[in-house]
Amino acid sequence: MAFEPPQRLVRALGETAPDGDDWLEKLPEAAHQAVALRELTVDRVQMPGGRSSLVVLVRRPDGAPAVLKLAPPRARPESERAALAHWGGLGAVQLLEPFTTEGVLLLERLHPDLSVRSLPEAKALLEAAGTLRRLWVEPPGGEGAHPFETVAERTGRQAEAMRATASAEAEVAVLVDAALAAREELLVAPPERRLLHGTFRQSKVLAGERMPWLAVGPDPVVGECAFDLARLVRDRVEDLIASPSGAATTRRRVKRLAESLEVDQERLRGWTLFRAVESGVRALRVGRAKDAELLLEFAGWL
């Protein structure tokens, strides 16, 4: 079977590929090797797929369904493996093998075309928030011994890129300054230290057999819960922007999610601002002008 990467993956990785990166070119052969090594039968490549990995629906030698996932090093697949192993299937997709090949994960098969995003908005937020709560556990090891990036480290890298873009794009400078100021204040005294999903949103919660809903695709990070919840606040941002009451709806969503998950409302608002501006500036930097406009308008409401 041909393992040509979906165009969505090609476009997304092309935006961030370092010079000389040949992971996409080697992907078809790597997928063939991963399938042969595990004696898997391929059902199909998931389309349109994700933006950071190739997802292949497969069957194990005993016929049991599974998912084979291949991701480049810059997508941090080994960090994902460590987080899934630590969660042990509680709230997240189950890891089926601890380690065989770097950058290749064999996972339990969920229903790839059925996420909580398919539910009515209020129900979707409720189910997504409940799933996220189960993931917020103490990271493995003692202080500083875990293998994960921290919120301070990740947002520090992002802040540098934001400053560079703002210096060339004067119209976003005010929002960038506000986002960076919020980050500095939030990092002073974080209220807890938990293992976080890192890139949580409604489309990252799929229907399963073991449990009704399970999270997939983490980019794990260690830090405060408000950072994780912040990405969920702007879910369906295109609908929020299109609504005449979008700004008011956003503020109510911040309040409702903060109260339901016992997160400080102002901290959630601050991280939502930072993450929206960071995503908007990144979209601007790679030429996704429409996405940038939506995200930066949303950030302006906060």
Taking only the tens place, the pLDDT of each residue in 18-74 is: 777 899 999 999 999 999 999 999 999 998 888 899 999 999 999 999 999 999 999
Dig out the tokens for 207 from the structure: 């229907």
- Same topology between domain 7-109 and domain 114-300: no
Pairing between β-strand 205-207 and β-strand 111-115 as defined by DSSP bridges: antiparallel
Q: What is the DSSP letter of 6?
A: P
**Residue-range domain boundaries for the chain:** 7-109, 114-300
For residue 48, is the peptide bond before it cis, meaning its omega torsion is within 30 degrees of 0? yes
Q: Does domain 114-300 have CATH number 3.90.1200.10?
A: yes
Closest by CA to 135, choosing from 245, 13, 39, 223, is: 223
Taking only the tens place, the pLDDT of each residue in 232-254 is: 999 999 999 999 999 999 999 99
Taking only the tens place, the pLDDT of each residue in 141-188 is: 766 677 899 999 999 999 999 999 887 777 899 999 999 999 999 999
Higher pLDDT: 15 or 113? It is 113
d(CA 202, CA 175): 26
- Superfamily of domain 7-109, CATH level 4: Phosphorylase Kinase; domain 1 (3.30.200.20)
Q: Is the pLDDT of residue 12 over 90?
A: no
Distances (CA, A) of 15 to 121, 155, 194: 31, 19, 30
Taking only the tens place, the pLDDT of each residue in 178-215 is: 999 999 999 999 999 999 999 999 999 999 999 999 99
Res 190: pLDDT:
94
d(CA 135, CA 197): 7
H or E segment to which residue 111 belongs: strand 111-115
> CB–CB of 28/70 below 8 Å?
no
Pairing between β-strand 65-70 and β-strand 104-108 as defined by DSSP bridges: antiparallel
**Sequence-distant (≥ 6) Cβ neighbours of residue 247 within 8 angstroms:** 301
